[in-house]
Amino acid sequence: MAWTETTRRQYARRTARYATDMTDREWGLVQPLLPMPRRLERPRTTNLREIMNALLYIATTGCQWRMLPKDFPPCSTVQRYFYEWRALGLWTRINHHLVMEARELEGKEASPTAGVIDSQSVKTTESGGIRGYDTG
């Protein structure tokens, strides 16, 4: 197949290096929820979008921290942000925000008004019969 302008545009990868990289729309939903740097800290030099991309890569592929590809920030930096954000409850906030956003896109209220909890009990086969000395 020859490369034409149409096929070049079709197969061009402008931003996403990996399938797990966040789109601009996804980043726009998550970025406002990230903590701002503290006033007395040194200026942040790490790109938080790259941290999120690295964390999504790890969560999707299941790779070890140290096996993170070299085009992401250092694994120690990614790990430090993950643990810090976990301690701040950021993952719960992001999940809650994204669930509300998805509900609104489906035309539902952001927060559900009711919930259904269901459980199924399955009868198993009797096994072993009578046991012990004092059974009648």
Query: How does pLDDT run across 58-76, given as a tens digit for each residue?
Result: 999 999 999 999 999 999 9
Can you tell me the distance from the alpha carbon of 116 to that of 118, in angstroms, rounded to the nearest whole number? 6
pLDDT for residue 44: 84
DSSP per-residue string spanning 40-80: TSPPP-S-HHHHHHHHHHHHHH---GGGS-TTSSPHHHHHH
Q: What would the mean pLDDT of 11-17 be, rounded to a whole number?
A: 63
pLDDT for residue 81: 95
- With H, G, I as helix, E, B as strand and everything else as coil, classify residue 31: helix
